Structure 1
Amino acid sequence: MRFPMPWRALCVALGLLFAAVTQAAQPVRLSLIIDDLGHDPERDRRVLALPGPVALAILPDAPHATSLARDAHRAGRTVMLHMPMAPADGAFAWLPNQPPFVWLERLEAALREVPHASGLNNHMGSRMTADDAAMQVLMPELQRRHLFFVDSRTTPKTVAAANAQRIALASLSRDLFLDHDSRPEAVAAAFQRGLDIARREGSVVMIGHPHASTLAVLERELPKLAAQGIDWIDVPPMIALRGNQAMPAHGRNGQYQ
């Protein structure tokens, strides 16, 4: 059937309107992790005061690690162990050429310093998360302990998420760092890029750090999320939502590469 030109224009307009309404109806979700916590009580308190389900990734060798983990747990926040890995150093760090029993001893010791941790992400770690043998030790141990894993993706050579996916360990990968550039305008621009990812892909996992500039942007922008149609959800629900599948930036057909 051929429609007169006005009807064809109307049909096109209605189709565009339907597509816009359908797109707007799709849930858009965001999860936020703040790394490197436990060093500065004032900034740690600002993170705890953020108005939503921020996950706190706490360094085991930070002086206030244990007290912050307990405070965060009491506040109902997700506590994560921010596990040092080479090129990070220190008493808890996973380093190349260590025997697996040393890695596991260091993990055990780090978890004692960060009580109530329900998951782990790597602090630095570009050497270790690219080490297939090390990740084949880590992921089954996290599964045994009923802990989830978030790949901070500090290197494009990471095999961490792929190893987690291979054994069906509850896991996520970071989509965006908020503050590679910690200038206020750069953090604000990165936050908006994260929202663009969420609108395009349906969800985004952001990682930030307790810089004064980052916290100021988050304190200003996070209360606006609901009005923008963004649902801020905790890390465990995001793991369930993504179902251990890789996002397009991290793999193909849901498989990490």
Structure 2
Amino acid sequence: MRFLLFTLFCLLAGTAHAAPAKAYMSIIIDDLGQSSERDSRTLALPGPVTMAIMPDTPHATDFARQAHKAGRTVILHMPMDPATGPYAWHPGLPIEELARRLDAALLKVPFAAGINNHMGSRMTAQRDAMAWLMGNLQGRELFFVDSRTSAATVAAAEAQAIGLAHVSRDVFLDDVRTTEAIAGQLRQGIELARKQGSVVLIGHPYPQTLEVLEREMPGLKRQGIELIELRQMIAERSNQAMSAHGRNGRYSNR
């Protein structure tokens, strides 16, 4: 009897610490709009990959329309300091200028359902600007993705503070631009999805990244990973911070 009770206890304890029953993954590809060849190859990836398009690129508007027509989620990949260019946000710019640049960038990327930051390690640490941005996006009914290019970011915390639909990036795929390293980052993403129930990956249209995704994405389902569209991920996470980004669902930089 004692043995049976001990066995039952072990089984129950194992169940309590088991990985989530479902593991969800969303993939965002940044820096699109620069190359028609890479844009088309990204668009052909199997599954609901989100297309993050830079406004100051030669194919931004045409590719946004093409991606939208293909049923993919389009987001504006908004340049932020230390990024440069006519649309980039920098600390010290007045709100009126930030608003003008955001309006202009959104005009260049039609059908954008939301935005994420391009670079932005300095800008996303500016609380007043991020608070204004989240309020503006809420008025436009757009969501926000914090690319988390810096641990000092307050962007997601400000989104959470007003209940703006948002998610934060968990894993960068291609900081090291080799197929071996990128495959390793994808495996890390799979493990994290199994551990916490979901994972948001960001990559770039590098040939190495696209090669790995073309090869590995068709087999994700066999590994218990369900690829979902970014809006579904936002609903799945319900504006909660993952454990690496905060505590008890709240962002640590609040």
TM-score (norm 2): 0.95
Q: Does 1:197 align with 2:192?
A: yes
What is aligned with 2:145? 150
Greater than 3 Å deviation, 4+ residue runs: 7-13, 22-25
What is aligned with 2:117? 122
Tell me the distance in 2 between the aligned counterparts of 1:199 and 1:77. 25
Q: Could you tell which deviates more after superposition, 25-34 or 175-184?
A: 25-34
Q: Does 1:89 align with 2:84?
A: yes
Deviation at 1:148, TM superposition (A): 0.1
Task: Please tell me the residue identity of whatever aligns with 1:46.
Answer: R
Tell me the distance in 2 between the aligned counterparts of 1:151 and 1:122. 7
Which runs of 5 or more residues in structure 2 are unaligned? none
Whether contact under 8 Å (2:76, 2:109) holds in the other structure is yes
1:6-25 equivalences in 2 (<5 Å): 7=4, 11=8, 15=11, 19=15, 23=18
Tell me the distance in 1 between the aligned counterparts of 2:123 and 2:19. 41
Deviation by residue 1:6-33 (Cα, 9 ceiling, x = unmatched): x5686477x279739x947711100000
Q: Secondary structure at the match of 1:172?
A: strand
Task: Please tell me the residue identity of whatever aligns with 1:224.
Answer: G
Please, which of 203, 212, 215 is the counterpart of residue 207 of structure 2?
212
Tell me the distance in 2 between the aligned counterparts of 1:106 and 1:97. 14
Tell me the distance in 2 between the aligned counterparts of 1:225 and 1:61. 34
Deviation at 1:95, TM superposition (A): 1.1
What is aligned with 2:246? 251
Please, which of 95, 103, 107 is the counterpart of residue 102 of structure 2?
107
Task: Please tell me the residue identity of whatever aligns with 1:19.
Answer: T
What is aligned with 1:32? 27
Tell me the distance in 2 between the aligned counterparts of 1:23 and 1:147. 35
Deviation by residue 1:77-99 (Cα, 9 ceiling, x = unmatched): 00000000000010000111111
Change (3 A) 1:178 1:12: same
Please, which of 24, 32, 36 is the counterpart of residue 41 of structure 1?
36
Task: Please tell me the residue identity of whatever aligns with 1:36.
Answer: D
Whether contact under 8 Å (2:169, 2:202) holds in the other structure is yes
Change (3 A) 1:40 1:163: same
Tell me the distance in 1 between the aligned counterparts of 2:91 and 2:237. 31
Q: Secondary structure at the match of 2:83?
A: coil
Which runs of 5 or more residues in structure 1 are unaligned? none
Deviation by residue 1:87-125 (Cα, 9 ceiling, x = unmatched): 001000011111100000000000000000000000000
What is aligned with 1:187? 182
Tell me the distance in 2 between the aligned counterparts of 1:114 and 1:12. 56
Tell me the distance in 1 between the aligned counterparts of 2:7 and 2:140. 59
Change (3 A) 1:244 1:9: closer
Identity of aligned residues (%): 56
Please, which of 219, 222, 227 is the counterpart of residue 227 of structure 1?
222
